[in-house]
Structure 1
Amino acid sequence: MIDYIKSPVLKLKNIRLLEKNQYTFDVDPKATKTEVKSWVEGFFGVKVTGMNSYRPPRKMKRMGPAIGYPVRYKRMIVTLRSGDSIPLF
């Protein structure tokens, strides 16, 4: 199950979401909301009240003469109940 969660996202927009008790993770494209919710609740011991997911648009990358696209991923925005927090942040 831990293979579904790739990493937390720490960008400017996501840092602003921390004030609203929302945390952002990069997850495997095959992961579902219920799988990620159960993993976050079990691992961190918090209560998840909402989840949003989206796939960022593809961007073309160039590596020498080769042109292609990087591996796709999905982002999940997890909203926690007030009073809960994730200690990694």
Structure 2
Amino acid sequence: MTETRRTSIEEARRVGDEIGVDWARFELEQFRKGMDVEFEHGSHDPQTDVTHDDPIVTGKIALAHMKEFPDYYERLERMERDAEREWESKPR
């Protein structure tokens, strides 16, 4: 596995503009975070690679989630922290 890609604000804006993100509805930083999360489904792990590290495909996945809930990635981050705490406390 390779290291997961990181998205700059500039790249997120460029991708968002290209796929038609409504910046009045969605925060650029949330979209950038979303792209970082969705790049986890790229070449980082060949078994689960669905984006092939394509920024446009990755941006579309992030946008799809944000259209469900504009704060999708904030919620995901909280859920993952809670799950990590829960699993750390379980006996192994």
Same fold (TM over 0.5): no
Normalised to the residue count of structure 1, the TM-score between the two structures is 0.29
TM-score, reference length from structure 2 = 0.28
Q: Compare the two structures and name the one with the higher helix fraction.
A: 2
**Is the strand fraction higher in 1 or 2?**
1
Larger relative contact order (C-alpha < 8 A, sep ≥ 6)?
1
